[in-house]
């Protein structure tokens, strides 16, 4: 297990995949947190928040276009968001967290629970065959966040 993943509390590893629990969803507003499940974005953002970052609650295409709270980076570093899709379009892209050493921590319907995959694992699946790139969250959490 990579160093980033090993520093997550045990509760992160039991989060169930729930496609209707995404940033901005009514289901999340009514029951915040991860106990009721999450989609890939909600899970990735919770991981970053655990490590002191404050990602904006953006869906994948808005995240990819965002320049206010994130920047695109040419090579991912631990805690960068990485986006995958079947094409080079950001709409509907899958979001994970770069954990280092060719490891991406993510939550997907296929596994149903958080997993760590290599870039080869993503490339082997048509729905994740294109790595769009990486985004670095530039906003740190504060006491008021």
d(CA 104, CA 62) in angstroms, rounded, equals 21
Buried b (16+ CB within 10 A) or exposed e, 76-91: bebbbbbbbbeeeebe
DSSP state of 33: S
> What is the pTM assigned to this prediction?
0.93
Q: What is the pLDDT of residues 3-26, one digit of tens each?
A: 788 889 999 999 999 999 988 888
Domain spanning 3-137 has what CATH number? 3.90.1720.10
Q: What is the pLDDT of residues 46-85, one digit of tens each?
A: 999 999 999 999 999 999 999 999 999 999 999 999 999 9
Domain boundaries, the chain: 3-137
């Amino acid at each position: 297990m990579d160093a980033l993943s090993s520093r997550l509390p045990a509760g992160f590893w039991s989060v169930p995949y729930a496609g209707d629990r995404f940033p901005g969803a009514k289901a999340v507003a009514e029951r915040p947190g991860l106990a009721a499940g999450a989609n890939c974005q909600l899970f990735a953002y919770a991981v970053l928040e655990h490590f002191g970052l404050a990602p904006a609650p953006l869906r994948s295409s808005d995240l990819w276009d965002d320049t206010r709270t994130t920047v695109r980076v040419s090579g991912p570093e631990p805690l960068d968001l990485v986006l995958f899709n079947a094409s080079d379009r950001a709409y509907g892209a899958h979001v994970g967290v770069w954990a280092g050493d060719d490891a991406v921590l993510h939550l997907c319907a296929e596994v149903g629970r958080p997993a760590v995959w290599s870039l080869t694992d993503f490339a082997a699946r048509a729905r994740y065959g294109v790595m769009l790139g990486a985004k670095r969250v530039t906003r740190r959490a504060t006491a008021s966040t």
